[in-house]
Amino acid sequence: MANLTYLGHSAFHLESGTISVLIDPFLTGNPMATAKADDFSPQTILLTHAHNDHVGDSVEIAKRSGAKVICNVELATYLGTKGIDTIGGNHGGTIAFEGGSAKFVPAWHTSSYSDGKRVIVVGVPSGFIVRFGGATMYFAGDTCLFGDMQLIGEEGIDIAVLPIGDHFTMGPTDAVRAVKFIEPALVIPCHYDTFPPIKQDAEKFKQQVETSTKARCRLLKPGEGHRF
């Protein structure tokens, strides 16, 4: 058995037994988060891109737990200067981690990091196809709709985690079109309601997914998990 817990915004926790993986762990300063950075001691952290609402508490968590941070090569080099272990990858590449693997796939977005004084551009954004606990999951990261999501769908996606907030990523209408490309068994929306510009009617998105595609849609509250 494995569990995928939503931590709010784009942050997720995958666990199976003693194996713990965090994805985009933005907890401090995340108004939706019900968990704190201190609650986790993962072996692995996956980062889709450098934006602060995705890198989040990664450095602090990795320093304390010894977690390896898997992300694009430029971000890996940058975060490596902060004294943590990183593994840099790039689109098309698969990197194995304790309990599973992550394949870098494209995402249409940007990838900059603000340290409070200046903004630096670090690599390009990605999504991940994660194989873990017997399931194949697609974490789209921050992205618009793009046609090559069909290629991602060909990998046989059990769970698609898609942004629906609009403004910075695709909104609900395009996310429903994405579901038609990906054809997952289950859709879990994210990256909505955290801040006023990305407020959405997630219930309406769920209805649209379930009436116009074969996928089921599950809305997770922050702190709530999906067992698989």
Q: Does 51 bind Ni ion (CB under 5 A)?
A: yes
Q: Does 68 bind Ni ion (CB under 5 A)?
A: no
Give the shortest CB-227-to-Mn ion separation in angstroms. Answer: 26
Q: Does 166 bind Ni ion (CB under 5 A)?
A: no
Cα separation, 180 vs 171, in Å, equals 15
159 versus 198: smaller Cβ distance to Mn ion: 198
Q: Please, are residues 22 and 71 in contact by the beta-carbon 8 Å criterion?
A: no
Cα separation, 198 vs 192, in Å, equals 5
88 versus 141: smaller Cβ distance to Ni ion: 141
- Binding window for Mn ion (CB under 5 A); candidates: 56-64, 70-78, 136-144, 213-221: 136-144
Cα separation, 145 vs 162, in Å, equals 10
Q: Does 24 bind Mn ion (CB under 5 A)?
A: no
Q: Does 142 bind Mn ion (CB under 5 A)?
A: yes
100 versus 106: smaller Cβ distance to Ni ion: 106
Q: Please, are residues 44 and 97 in contact by the beta-carbon 8 Å criterion?
A: yes
Closest CA to 73 of 53, 98, 96, 91: 91
Count of residues engaged in binding Ni ion, rule: CB under 5 A = 2
Neighbours of 17 (CB within 10 A): 9
Sites of contact with Ni ion (CB under 5 A)? 51, 142
